[in-house]
Structures are given as structure tokens and as C-alpha cells.
Structure 1
Amino acid sequence: MTTTQRVHWDLTYDVHLGATWGRFMAGLTEQQILANSCPECSRTFVPPQAYCESCFVRTDEWIELPAEGVVEAFTVAWQGFRGGPTPPYAIAGIRLDGASTLLMHYVGGLDLDDPSAVREQIGPGTRVRAVWAQERTGQILDITHFEKI
């Protein structure tokens, strides 16, 4: 008896961003990384959040963060998936200067041919900056990747 069945879905769909994510994505078209902060605990969120996850209050105060920060954690993807980038590629949790949370994004400009040498190129504490796409359309890949400073 067969217990699994292979199914393929090729979906195109629209996602309603809402006011908070819509403002964040609109900022990217202008090469601005917008964040918001909690009026109670002063945590700064990027990507922004409509409500503070700790205080449960609206986060209506907006600020622009610099396009630079520090790698807190990273991984290298050695296997690809349909619709994704060609491996290998690096992804990092980046704490932008002034942020309380991490922004997950690609890190480029690394030599990923030798897995044992990756830690010498990037790791916790590595300073990085955003590399902007030539044409921006209000999507997260308006920042194509981050690179070491």
C-alpha cells in the first residue's frame, strides 16, 4: 500500500503586505531600511512589526537605519531547491546598527569553493553593508545581498 504521493504545485499568488510591511518595502525602493520601535521597551524592529512581541503595544515610531551591521549568525546552503538561488550561497542573521532584531539575508562576495575556509571569511562579528539592486521594485531583493566591509 502506498503511503505517500508526489504532488507538484507551481503557484503564483499575491501577498497582502499590510501597512507595516508595505511601508518597509516602499522604503527599499528609495534605498532606505526602515524600522519601527516600541514606545514601551524601546526595542527597534527590522523587519518592522506592527506590535511589540514583548509589550503587546503598537510600534508606530519609524526610523531609518544605516545599511550596515554585524553578522550574528550564518550558514551556507550547499544544496539548492526549485526557485532558489544556485548553491552554494551564504545566509546571515544581520543586526543592523541600531536594531534590536536580526534581518536574515544573503551575503555575497565570499569564496565558497572550500567549505573549511568559510569561517575565515565570515562569522559572528563580521561587519557588512547592503548592496542595492540597480532597479528596485519594493521587494526584499531590492537589497541583492550584504558584503563584508
Structure 2
Amino acid sequence: MNVFTPTDEAPLVTIPGEWNFGYHYFAGEMASRFFHELRNKRIVGSICPSCRRVLVPARGFCDACFVAATELREVGLHGTVETFTILTEPFPKLPEPPLVVGLVLLDGADSAVLNAITGVDLDDLDAAAKLLLSGPRVRVEFRDECEGRITDFHFVLDES
């Protein structure tokens, strides 16, 4: 096996692609209950009967123990940003960039949920990244009319 060191002479590669396909997502029993509760402006997680972790979004089995989950628990509507990305390119059906999307650990949950984060000043992307790297607190903000979809809510930077 040859060992080599990359050089600066190699041009950067860009590979064009396009995703455009229809699909039907089968949520299963626990995730279906998660989406149903969103209509009531509640966020629930499934409880692992073995390790007692609360998994949000609710899912049918624990990803650590591989044990089927059978109970749900409501979690808090405040949480902490665990990781994020700042989108600078447009995506279909998303707001115009720049846009923050992040994984947030909600109070009472043991796994993070992905959604948009608003309330971050994106005029200076470096400053925004530093703020988000500090793990700020956020709160859930629901839409006026919830349909039982992940887009029924987003996170807002909690300035309190």
C-alpha cells in the first residue's frame, strides 16, 4: 500500500447532482403518535424501557439498546443547540438563505431533534457561528395551525 501526501496542485472537485423523487414515509406507531401530538402543540419522545432514555422525535426502538419503545413522555419546549449548519444556498420549500438548521436537545429529552433556528443575526456569519457554537438556549415556536408535520414548529433563539 502506497502512502502519499496530498499537494496543493490538485484542483478542488465539484460533482453536480440533483435529487428529485417522490416518496411516502411510513412513520410507524411511535413516530405517528409524535406527529399527531404536534397537532396539539406538544412534543413527545418515546421512552426506552431498558435504559429509560427519552428519544425525540419518538421512535419505535432505542438506538442504543435496540429495545422496542412502548411509552411516550412529553418533553419541554426549551432546549440547547447541540450542533448546527448555516445554509447559504437555496433549497426547495425552505426560506431564502441564509438559514440556520440545528439539532436541539429539548429539556427532558436524551436525543436531539433537527429543525430551523430563527432569531440569529446572520448579517455576520462568523459571529453567528460563534454564538451558535456556544450552545445557546432556544424555545419552540409552533405555527398557528398545526398539521402534524415537523414543519409545525421551529426553534427561536431564547434571549431571556
Instruction: Check whether TM > 0.5.
Output: yes
Bigger Rg, structure 1 or 2: 2
Q: Which residue of 1 aligns with 2:155?
A: 146
Q: Aligned pairs, how many? A: 143
How far 1:138 moved relative to its partner? 0.5
Q: Which residue of 2 aligns with 1:119?
A: 129
Q: Does 1:57 align with 2:56?
A: no
Contact preservation (8 Å) 1:46, 1:99: yes
Amino acid aligned to 1:74: F
How far 1:128 moved relative to its partner? 0.5
Q: Which moved more, 1:123-132 or 1:60-69?
A: 123-132
Gap change, CA 1:10 and 1:114, over 3 Å in 2: same
CA RMSD of aligned residues (A): 2.0
Amino acid aligned to 2:31: W
The equivalent position to 1:103 in structure 2, one of 100, 107, 113, is 113
Q: Which runs of 5+ in 1 are unaligned?
A: 1-5
Gap change, CA 1:116 and 1:22, over 3 Å in 2: same
* Correspondence 1:1-149 to 2 at 5 A: 11-143=21-153, 145-149=154-158
Contact preservation (8 Å) 1:73, 1:124: no
Secondary structure of the corresponding residue to residue 24 of structure 1: helix
Structure 1 consecutive aligned stretches of length 4 or more whose deviation exceeds 4 Å: 6-13
TM normalised by structure 2 equals: 0.80
**Identity between Structure 1 and Structure 2 (%):** 34
Q: Distance in 2 between matches of 1:67 and 1:9?
A: 33
Q: Which runs of 5+ in 2 are unaligned?
A: 1-15
TM normalised by structure 1 equals: 0.86
